[in-house]
């Protein structure tokens, strides 16, 4: 979209609190988006902590995109967060 910056097109979800990563057996991140084509100038990104997943939402401009990823190995003890940038 014209006039929308990457920062404005990013939704951030912080996960407050501390965790013991040694005690976590499974953690999944699921992102659901509409109108995510992933083509041309409509590239998008999903971030979890310091990890980036590029163009994983590809349902098309009239479809629903679903991205699910096991994020257990990417967990940290504090300040976990997910970000989704679709524009």
Q: How far is CA 57 from the centre of its chain?
A: 9
CA torsion sign for 72, 80, 5, 2 is positive
Check whether 29 has a pLDDT greater than 90.
yes
Helix (H, G, I), strand (E, B) or coil at 12: strand
Is residue 35's pLDDT more than 80? no
Q: Which pLDDT value is given to residue 58?
A: 73
Mean model confidence pLDDT for the chain? 85
Return the SS3 of 2: coil
- pLDDT tens digit string along 40-72? 555 788 999 999 988 887 766 667 888 899 999
Long-range own/partner contacts, residues 12-17 (CB < 8 A, 24 or more apart): 12/81, 12/82, 12/83, 13/81, 13/82, 13/83, 14/79, 14/80, 14/81, 15/80, 15/81, 15/82, 17/78
Percentage of the residues of the chain whose pLDDT score is greater than 90? 49
């Amino acid at each position: 979209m014209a006039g929308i910056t990457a920062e404005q097109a990013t939704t951030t979800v912080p996960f407050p609190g501390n965790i013991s990563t040694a005690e976590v057996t499974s953690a999944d991140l699921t992102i659901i988006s509409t109108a995510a084509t992933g083509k041309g100038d409509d590239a998008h990104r999903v971030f979890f902590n310091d990890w980036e997943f590029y163009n994983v939402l590809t349902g098309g401009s009239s479809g629903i995109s679903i991205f699910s990823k096991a994020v257990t190995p990417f967990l940290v003890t504090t300040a976990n967060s997910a970000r989704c940038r679709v524009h």
